[in-house]
Each structure stands twice: as structure tokens, then as C-alpha cells.
Chain A
Amino acid sequence: MSRLTGPNIQLNELGQLHHFLTIEGLKQQHLIEILDTAESFINPNTQEIKKVPILRGKTIMNLFFEPSTRTRTTFEIAEKRLSAQVESLDIETSAAKKGESLLDTLWNLQAMQTDMFVIRHAQSGAAQFFSQHVAPHVHVLNAGDGQHAHPTQAMLDMFTIRKHKGSVFDLKVAIVGDVLHSRVVRSQIQALSILEAREIRVVGPKTLMPESPEAMGIHVYHDMEEGIKDVDVIIMVRLQNERMTSALIPSEKEFFKLYGLTKERLALAKPDAIVMHPGPINRGVEISSEVADGPQSVILEQVTYGIAVRMAVMSIIMSNAAQLKQHRAEQASLDLDEPHTLNAMEEANS
């Protein structure tokens, strides 16, 4: 099983984030640093997010191979609040592209003095693929790759949980809906487990559950009432239309009957349980309006925190790059110093 834990390709030689591709393989300290940094961008009195000059002079390219408005917008806002220069590109991938042209696109954009790419792509592993082909000083931030990972979304969810519960530690969390096809859920599960949630449950029909839940450290429930009993956090996952057309579930109506979050069901969770949803919500499909707009719902807060968390990740990566540069300069000067030290020792000996 040693191959499971190879060197984490998103970390630099100091063990700090160089890219942000996935939550998997990160340490608690990495996640805490992101959460703490995000906190520092939010004005505690007004809950407003400050504009800071941290990324002045840096160019960030948002590369979206898959359409997205919400994620792209929050990334753009986050980048601008950090004072970076921002470019966004939607790239058609419908035509089967040859590898060379895909990488040529990347290298061309890199040549335009890009410091960081924010990439969304329909293929699992795409962000890692790009990170292996950019120049060493260029950073890649995964804004969603296939069904693999969406680490900034997971971090903003952790941020939201921490805001309300003080910490993720020892919480019982239920994730309800399409776990199989969700990159968000995969990242959430990893983050929850690194932050030592007590129990991670996933709730839904067998057709929307992964083949090997045990490999992900989760407990599967096919019964909603049982699944959300006594949990601290309920995360509802958005149901895509294509799940009905591919016969994974019969209808939205039946899904709501079985797994929809209603007031009555919510009462089974802990009294202070919070309800989350990455949005945009399908009212009457995953969640009743009563719950979505109710006092336990934190859905709209998540959107605001998304900006702060993305600012945190980008500023941490750029500050790590600066630290690494300094570290290398120090190492180089140490190497130069060495002969002198030796000479001094020799002199002392003689």
C-alpha cells in the first residue's frame, strides 16, 4: 500500500502548498492555515471582505474548460480583492483535442507571464496533469476536475462549519445525495477526515453511492431518517438532471420523498445542527424551502466565505513561493560559506 502515499506533488520542498489540486494527502496544519488566513480577510464587525494588495503585480489566469458561472465569479472576485491582474478564458473542449494542442494552449498562456492558473476541466486528474506540465514557478489551483476534486469548495464548507461549531473535530456529518458523481463530496470527505470529524455518513440510493465507500472512510446509509439522526452538520448535494435521464433515480419527486430534507426530518438531527448546500439549490428536490430559508440553514453564508477561502489559498501559495525563494537563496549562500568555515576550522586545528 506504499504507493498510496507517495510524495505529494502539490507541496514544495518545504512541505508547503505549491499547487492546490486536492485535499487528499494534506496535513491538518495545511487546512488550519487556510481557514485561519481566510478568517483574517473577513472584517469581524461588518463581515465584509477587505481588499488587500497581496497579489499586486501577479497575473492569474482562470482557465475554464467546463462552463461555470458561480465558481468562476467567486474566483474572479477573490483574485481582484487580492489586487491581482485577472484574465478568464472559456475553452471549448467539445472537439477531441490532441494532447499537443491542449498543452500548447497552456504553454502559450504561461508565456504571457502567468503566475497562477485556476483550472476547471471535465476530466478527473486534469488539474494534476496540468500541474505536471507548467513551469516550476507557475502554480495550479484546481477549480474542479471531473468527479475527482474541488478542494476550495470543500475548504469553504469547512470554514462555514468552523464558524458555527467552533471546530470540525468530533462532529457527526451527514452528506446527502449524489456522492458517486460529486467532486465536491470527495474533497469534503477528505477534509472532514483530516480535521478529525467523528463520523462521516453519506446518504442516498445505491446508484449514487461509490463502489468502495470503505476506501473513503465513510458510512453509507440508504435510509434518510437513520442517516441524519443526531448529526451536527447536514450537507445536501445538488442533484443533476442527467441522473434521471441515465436511470439512476426515477424522478425528482421520488428523490424528495426518500431523501429530501424537510423540517420533520431535520428535527431528527441535533437541535443545533446546521444545513449546508453548495448551491444553487433545487427547492423541493433536495431541500424544502422551509428548511433552505430556515434558521438552521447557512447556505448563503457559504457563498461569502467562498471568496475569503479562495483569497486565502491564493495568498498562501504566493507567500510560500516567496518563502521558498528566500530559503533557496539562504541555502545557496550557506553553500558558499562552507569553504570559509572549513578554512577557519583548519586554522584553528593548526
Chain B
Amino acid sequence: MKLVILNGRIIDPSQNLDQVTNLYLSRGRIVGMGDQAPEGFTATQEVDATGKWILPGLVDLQARLGEPGSNFAGSIASETKAAAAGGITSICCPPDTSPVNDSQAVTELLQRRARQASTAFVMPIGALTIDLKGERLSGIYSLKQAGCVALSQANTPIRSALTLKNALEYTSTQDMVVMLRCEDQQLKNGGVAHSGPVSSRLGLPEIPPSAETTALARDLILVEEAGVRAHFSQLSCARSVEMIADAKKRGLPITCDVAIHQLHLSEMDVLGFNSLFHVSPPLRSMQDKQALLMGLKSGVIDAVVSDHTPLQKDEKLLPFGESMPGISGLETLLPLLMKLVQENDLDLMTAIRCVTQNPAKILGVQRGTLDINQPADLSIFNPEGIWTLKVNEMLSEGQNTPFQGWEFIGQVEQTFFQGRSVYRKNQV
């Protein structure tokens, strides 16, 4: 099939491109761009994208896909559909599955299911330690061979500094990126909310910023010593942004990301004890939120992730502190990002770069670009039209979103994965 997308505004940070023109797809790849079709190209299908934007398929560094196991709601089939509806075509799934993805078998299972669903490029992240227990190392080479693109401990950081040091040194010889969530469990001390005015008033057990920053300080030093390529996941504190900036200045091979909800919500949203606002790391102060945004603008923060955590309904039907943390975020990643652009908090190119070129580069994969010969993963985005998020219209099986009722401008109309249409608005 040869497809031409006509007159779209093509926005591709990987080529510093923002131009109205035609895009030519053939056999699942992008074969040309411009007013002239490439030689020998005769379109069998045309899509008119006049007035629309053409975006590279988004690359999400952290989204849980519900499989294997029953820790989370949904399946690879349902969650990759939700991703497509949000313009996301490449997804890293963290190893906190059940069983934990610490073996070739689980990695292969994930890939097989993803191939069956064939809606998005699923990139498993292997567990750094067996069963994520932070004790013995997983078969890191085997995981790499099986196709894991990175290693991580998901939300359960290694407690022992010695084990982490060993894990980082060992991994440094395998040319793999290690993703680290920084959180000192002792300082967290069972906390569920940022320590600040809201936790003081509500009496919610507190998580001080030092739970993140002291762990980050330790990890930065061990990363520097080991010389491993490290990526810091889901930062939440202003101080963390400064620490990453300093480390980058020193030339450390590190990158980092922030979850999109941290750029829109803050501790104030926890007033009212609504468990939909229970996330990990916790929603922090307005100053932290502002610093994260500045970090994104200045390039200290490289990527924005959905941190998609689809949950069964009853996991949130509990008092705040007993509910499971997490947001079903695949379908709101791009809308919330565009909201930042519309509110002049972020320029369009930076916003798109943080969810395409940068995360692809962090993983070292050829995705998130509209360059010639690359997989034809893209979405057609209608920048106009106000719509309201309704949970019952979400495709994810996790309906745990605090953004119900939010108004957005602009929406994905169609998504292509490897040249095939995998989502079309109102034609699910």
C-alpha cells in the first residue's frame, strides 16, 4: 500500500522541521516528503490533512500495559489501543509485572502479545534485580538479548548502596541504559503526600523532598563511578532538577524525565482526599511544579512520560492512603502537553521533542521521527476544536484519571503504526 498524506503541517523535531507539505508512506516506512512524490511512487490511497498537524508517533518511556499478571487493569491489546488514541506508538513497559520481567521468558511473552496486538511498538524494560527485590542481579545480558531496551527497578529502588553499585558497574559493560527512580524508602516512611501545607492540614503521612534528593545524590555518585548510562525517572522536586543540571554540567552521561501530571497538578489537588490524585512520587508544591517546567524548557529534563498506571476500580475506592497510587495517563499525555503549549508554558517544538526525538535517543531506537526510511509511526492531529475528557469514553481499561471533565483544545484524529492506521477518532 502506498499512502500519501496531503498538505499537513509536519512537525518533526528530529529534523527541526515545521512545514506544510506532503508525506509519502510505503511498506510501513516513510519514503518521502515534499510537494513532489518520490520517483516511482504512485499513491494507492490519499489522506487530506489540510489544516491538520502531522506528528511523529510519540515515544513513552513509562507505561504499564496490564500484562502479565493482575497488578494492573487492562491488557496489551487494550492499552496499546489507548496509546494509539493518544498519538503514542512506542511504549516502554516497566518490569513491575506479575511475574516480574526479570527473565527472557517474560520479555518474550510481552513482545509476542505486542506483535499480536500490533498497535504499538512495545519495548520491555528488564528488572535490574531478580523479582525487583534489590538483592541479586537479573540475567542482564539475557534480558538484553531477548530485547529489553533498558533496565530498571520500576518503583522499588534498590536499598543497598552496595548492590546498586554492583548493578551499575555490571550493567556498564553491557551498554544498556539504567532507569532509576530515586526514593529513599526510610525517608518515605510510609508517607503518601508531599510534606507541606496540605499534608500538615490534612494529617496525611508525609514524603519529604529529601526522600527523592538524598537518593538522587547517592545514585548520581554511584552512576559517575560506574560510568554507566543512566536515566532518572519521574523527578518531582525542584532541588532534583538543580542536581541533574549540575551533574550534566560535569559531563555525566545522564538524562531524566518527568511525568506529565506533575506539570499540571500540585499538592493543592490533594485537599479533599481524592484518591485519584494519589501518585508516586507525590504531587509536590507549586514551586516544584514550576521548577520542573523550567527544567523542561531549559533542556535539563529530557523527556515527558505518561507514567500510565491503569488500575482496577476498587484500587482507588479506598481512603487516600490505602489506595494504589497512579494515573491512567496514555490518553492525556499529548492533550496535557498541548495545554502547556497553549498556555505559553512551553514552545511547540520543545513539547514534541520531549515525547519523540529525546526519548527515542535515550533508548537508542529509530522511532519518534518522520525521517526518510524510518517506520511510518505518526499521528494526524487536529489542532482545533474544544473537547472534554470523559472517563467512560477512554479506551484504557484503567479509568483512574483525575482529569475527568478537563477541557482540551486539539485532538488526535488518526494514528498510523508502521504505515497502518491503528486508530481513527470515532471509529474505534
Chain A residues with CB under 8 Å of chain B are: 1, 3-4, 6, 24, 98-100, 102-103, 121, 123-126, 128-129, 133, 145-149, 183, 186, 210-216
State whether A103 touches B317 (Cβ < 8 A).
yes
State whether B320 touches A124 (Cβ < 8 A).
yes
State whether B314 touches A183 (Cβ < 8 A).
no
B425 located at the interface, meaning its Cβ lies under 8 Å from any Cβ of chain A in the complex: no
Contact with A along B242-285 (1 / 0, CB 8 A): 00000000000000000000000000110111010000000000
Contact with A along B194-212 (1 / 0, CB 8 A): 0111111111111010000
A–B pairs, 7, beta carbons within 8 Å: A4-B271, A99-B315, A121-B319, A124-B204, A125-B319, A147-B204, A211-B197
Within 8 A of A (CB), among B200-237: 200-206, 208
B322 located at the interface, meaning its Cβ lies under 8 Å from any Cβ of chain A in the complex: yes
Residues of A within 8 A of B321 (CB): 123-125, 146
B43 located at the interface, meaning its Cβ lies under 8 Å from any Cβ of chain A in the complex: no
B316 located at the interface, meaning its Cβ lies under 8 Å from any Cβ of chain A in the complex: yes
Residues of B within 8 A of A214 (CB): 197
State whether B318 touches A212 (Cβ < 8 A).
no
Q: Which of these, B313, B319, B323, contacts A124 with CB under 8 Å?
A: B319
Residues of A within 8 A of B313 (CB): 99
Q: Which 8 A/B pairs are nearest by Cβ-Cβ distance?
A: A215-B197, A125-B273, A99-B317, A147-B203, A99-B314, A123-B319, A148-B203, A210-B200
Name the CB-closest residue of A to B272.
A6
Q: Separation in Å of the A43 CB from the closest CB of chain B?
A: 37
Name the CB-closest residue of A to B322.
A123
Residues of A within 8 A of B200 (CB): 210-213, 215-216
Within 8 A of A (CB), among B306-332: 313-323
Q: How far is the CA of A121 from the CA of B322 in the complex (A)?
A: 11
Known pairs A147-B204, A212-B196, A215-B197; A126 contacts B319 (CB<8 A): yes
Q: How far is the CA of A128 from the CA of B272 in the complex (A)?
A: 8
Name the CB-closest residue of A to B199.
A211
Residues of B within 8 A of A147 (CB): 203-205
Q: Which of these, A121, A129, A146, A186, contacts B201 with CB under 8 Å?
A: A186
Name the CB-closest residue of B to A98.
B314
Q: Which of these, A98, A99, A125, contacts B202 with CB under 8 Å?
A: A125
State whether B201 touches A125 (Cβ < 8 A).
no
Q: Separation in Å of the B195 CB from the closest CB of chain A?
A: 4
Q: Separation in Å of the B203 CB from the closest CB of chain A?
A: 3
Residues of A within 8 A of B208 (CB): 211
Q: How far is the CA of A14 from the CA of B316 in the complex (A)?
A: 31
Name the CB-closest residue of A to B198.
A215
State whether B273 touches A128 (Cβ < 8 A).
yes
Q: Which of these, B198, B204, B272, B318, contacts A99 with CB under 8 Å?
A: B318
Q: How far is the CA of A99 from the CA of B276 in the complex (A)?
A: 14
Q: How far is the CA of A204 from the CA of B198 in the complex (A)?
A: 21
State whether B196 touches A129 (Cβ < 8 A).
no
Q: Separation in Å of the A121 CB from the closest CB of chain B?
A: 7
| Residue from B197, B269, B271, B318 having most chain A Cβ neighbours under 10 A | B318
Q: Separation in Å of the A313 CB from the closest CB of chain B?
A: 20
Residues of A within 8 A of B198 (CB): 215
Q: How far is the CA of A128 from the CA of B274 in the complex (A)?
A: 10
Q: How far is the CA of A4 from the CA of B197 in the complex (A)?
A: 11
Q: How far is the CA of A3 from the CA of B269 in the complex (A)?
A: 8
Q: Separation in Å of the B288 CB from the closest CB of chain A?
A: 14
20 more contacts with CB within 8 A, not counting A129-B273, A215-B197, are: A3-B271, A98-B314, A99-B315, A99-B318, A123-B319, A124-B320, A124-B321, A129-B318, A145-B319, A146-B204, A148-B202, A148-B204, A149-B203, A210-B199, A211-B200, A211-B206, A211-B208, A213-B200, A216-B200, A216-B201
| Residue from A123, A128, A148 having most chain B Cβ neighbours under 10 A | A123
Q: Separation in Å of the A206 CB from the closest CB of chain B?
A: 13
| Residue from A98, A103, A121, A129 having most chain B Cβ neighbours under 10 A | A129
Q: Which of these, A99, A103, A183, A213, contacts B203 with CB under 8 Å?
A: A183
Q: How far is the CA of A121 from the CA of B319 in the complex (A)?
A: 10
Q: How far is the CA of A186 from the CA of B197 in the complex (A)?
A: 13
Q: How far is the CA of A143 from the CA of B320 in the complex (A)?
A: 18
Q: How far is the CA of A24 from the CA of B269 in the complex (A)?
A: 17
Q: How far is the CA of A123 from the CA of B205 in the complex (A)?
A: 9
Residues of A within 8 A of B272 (CB): 3, 6, 128
State whether B315 touches A124 (Cβ < 8 A).
no
Q: Separation in Å of the B303 CB from the closest CB of chain A?
A: 29
Residues of A within 8 A of B206 (CB): 211
State whether A100 touches B319 (Cβ < 8 A).
no
Q: How far is the CA of A212 from the CA of B268 in the complex (A)?
A: 13
State whether B319 touches A211 (Cβ < 8 A).
no
State whether A124 touches B202 (Cβ < 8 A).
yes
Name the CB-closest residue of B to A183.
B203
State whether A4 touches B319 (Cβ < 8 A).
no
State whether B318 touches A215 (Cβ < 8 A).
no
Name the CB-closest residue of A to B314.
A99
Within 8 A of A (CB), among B156-201: 195-201
| Residue from A102, A125, A183, A211 having most chain B Cβ neighbours under 10 A | A125
Q: Which of these, A1, A100, A211, A216, contacts B317 with CB under 8 Å?
A: A100
Residues of B within 8 A of A102 (CB): 317-318
State whether A124 touches B273 (Cβ < 8 A).
yes
Name the CB-closest residue of A to B323.
A99
Q: How far is the CA of A186 from the CA of B204 in the complex (A)?
A: 12
Residues of A within 8 A of B317 (CB): 99-100, 102-103, 133
Q: Separation in Å of the B410 CB from the closest CB of chain A?
A: 26
Q: How far is the CA of A145 from the CA of B314 in the complex (A)?
A: 20
| Residue from B199, B200, B316, B321 having most chain A Cβ neighbours under 10 A | B200
Q: Separation in Å of the B188 CB from the closest CB of chain A?
A: 14
Name the CB-closest residue of B to A133.
B317
Residues of B within 8 A of A123 (CB): 319-322
Residues of A within 8 A of B197 (CB): 211-212, 214-215
Residues of A within 8 A of B205 (CB): 124, 146-147
Q: How far is the CA of A145 from the CA of B195 in the complex (A)?
A: 18
Residues of B within 8 A of A186 (CB): 201, 203
Q: Separation in Å of the B7 CB from the closest CB of chain A?
A: 43
Residues of A within 8 A of B202 (CB): 124-125, 148
Q: How far is the CA of A6 from the CA of B273 in the complex (A)?
A: 13
Q: How far is the CA of A216 from the CA of B320 in the complex (A)?
A: 21
Name the CB-closest residue of A to B193.
A124
